[in-house]
Chain A
Amino acid sequence: DIQLTQSPSFLSASVGDRVTITCRASQGIRRYLAWYQHEPGKAPKLLIYSASTLQSGVPSRFSGSGSGTEFTLTISSLQPEDFATYYCQQLDDYPHTFGGGTKVEIK
């Protein structure tokens, strides 16, 4: 199975900060990677697919990059509604594993 390692697992930041989350795959997954945002008690939300394509309706402060084994999610200017947990998911091969998550909290 393909393992995804996210870092950091916890991040404390202030409104307006630039935030970067990394997702590393145990083997190459081309660009078959998605990023999700999850707030407690809510349905997860797709942010980015195919490593760098912004899902319709998602603010442009979110961006994704990478291919192969290393990927990043960047929030250019953190907003109050962005405090949540973020997950990467690989879609290159079954099982479609998730990373362990990165919790973004208010500093």
Chain B
Amino acid sequence: EVQLLESGGDLVQPGGSLRLSCAASGFTFTSFAMTWVRQAPGKGLEWVAAIGGRYSYTYYADSVKGRFTLSRDNSKNTLYLQMNSLRADDTAVYYCGKRALDTGSIDSWGRGTLVTV
């Protein structure tokens, strides 16, 4: 069974930094692209960033480009989101997602971790 467990969410001051982690299990982590999606209070889902599997390309939403860095440690089956220069509008629940091989849709999601700025 695929499991994704986010951690690292916290209360942080504007301008501060935080690193989120997503521990993955139940699948061959190296083979799959991964993504982060967030939901601000009372708002809809917002795509944040994506990273490839073995070749680790990265893409970011304009709202976080230059401030957030997505990386992965395939030896630890863990995804990371380094968030710098945090702003009040980064306040959200951050979800980690596994992307399907062929379609890119998010076929497994974590329960999320709350970041409050």
The interface on chain A, measured as residues whose beta carbon lies within 8 A of the other chain's beta carbons, has a size of 26
B21 contacts A by Cβ under 8 Å: no
Interface class of chain A by DSSP: loop
B88 contacts A by Cβ under 8 Å: no
Using Cβ atoms and an 8 Å threshold, which residues of chain B touch A80? none
Q: Pick out which of these stretches binds chain A: B23-31, B74-82, B97-105.
A: B97-105
Using Cβ atoms and an 8 Å threshold, which residues of chain B touch A50? 103, 105
Using Cβ atoms and an 8 Å threshold, which residues of chain A touch B110? 43
| Contact, CB under 8 Å: B109 / A43 | yes
A99 to B44, CA, bound (A): 8
A91 to B107, CA, bound (A): 13
Scan residues 35-64 of chain A and give those whose CB is less than 8 A from a CB of chain B: 36, 38, 42-46, 49-50, 53, 55
Scan residues 53-107 of chain A and give those whose CB is less than 8 A from a CB of chain B: 53, 55, 85, 87, 89, 91, 94-101
**Who on chain A is nearest to B45 by CB?**
A98
Closest 5 CB pairs of A and B: A34-B105, A43-B109, A49-B105, A101-B44, A94-B59
